[in-house]
Chains A and B, each alone.
Chain A
Amino acid sequence: MDRIRRALIGISAAAFLKPWEALAAWNKEAFGAKTAQDALRSIGVSGAAPTKEVLIEAPEIAENGAVVPIEITSNIPGTTSIAVIADKNPFPLVAQFRFHEGAVPFVKLNIKMGETSEVRAIAQAGGKSYVATKEIKVTIGGCGG
């Protein structure tokens, strides 16, 4: 009940006080989550199946945590979204990409990592979730400082 109440307050606040936030469709709850589990739940993912069909290309050791290059490709047919989660970051959910007709489920980006952590790529296809994981060692953190 309390959750519903808070959600309603959140929605009305977004609608009336900060209309631009509502328009931007930025998932405040998911990006504000402090654990990977909470972030996953907020983007509607539960029980993602481990897969080798989602590829994470990234360095084993990132010398500079402020810029860690990551390339993600999903070979699962009908992939509609890919989310990137760095487990040990203060806010683990880094990004979520939605692919529409014409887009290849591929993305390359640079992320910040506070410390050595597992990085997960979660692909959603046909109502199911798939996850690939890769550990990236960080020698100099990229958050704060």
Chain B
Amino acid sequence: MAGPMKMRATWANGFTDVRVLMTHPMETGQRKDPDGNLVPMHFIQTITVQLNGKTVVDCEVSQGVSRNPVFSFRIKGGARGDKITVAWQDNKGESNSIDSAVA
């Protein structure tokens, strides 16, 4: 099941580095369960990264991204205390998001 997210955003030398972890099975639809039945596809499709509510990166991803995806992004500027929000949506319509202040 899709679960919690973790994120760390840090500012250094004029750049904000964002590292985010999503808990998600990222099923390809090719794997079989112990009974030999195919596990249906279940994977994150879209991700957006926002700085103070403004989208800076948006992503489309496939089942080719590893289970429990970890992404790093870099934003020019930003400042300590700015709000970073990362949200995802998967092929079953599930979604999650997290926000944190730049440290």
A-B contact count (CB 8 A): 114
Query: Contact: A109 with B65, CB < 8 Å?
Result: yes
Which residue in chain B gives the minimum CB-CB distance to A103?
A: B56
Q: How many of chain B's residues have a CB under 8 angstroms from any CB in A?
A: 37
Q: Which residues in A have their C-beta under 8 angstroms from that of B26?
A: 112
Interface size grouping (class) on chain A: 35 or more
Max chain B CB contacts within 10 Å: which of A24, A67, A92? A24
Which residue in chain B gives the minimum CB-CB distance to A86?
A: B64
Seed contacts A96-B59, A107-B59; 4 additional CB < 8 Å A-B pairs: A26-B45, A95-B60, A112-B28, A112-B64
Chain A interfacial positions (CB closer than 8 Å to B): 20, 24-27, 31, 66-68, 71, 86, 89-104, 106-112, 142-145
Chain B interfacial positions (CB closer than 8 Å to A): 15, 26, 28, 30-32, 45-46, 49, 51, 54-67, 69-78, 89, 91, 93
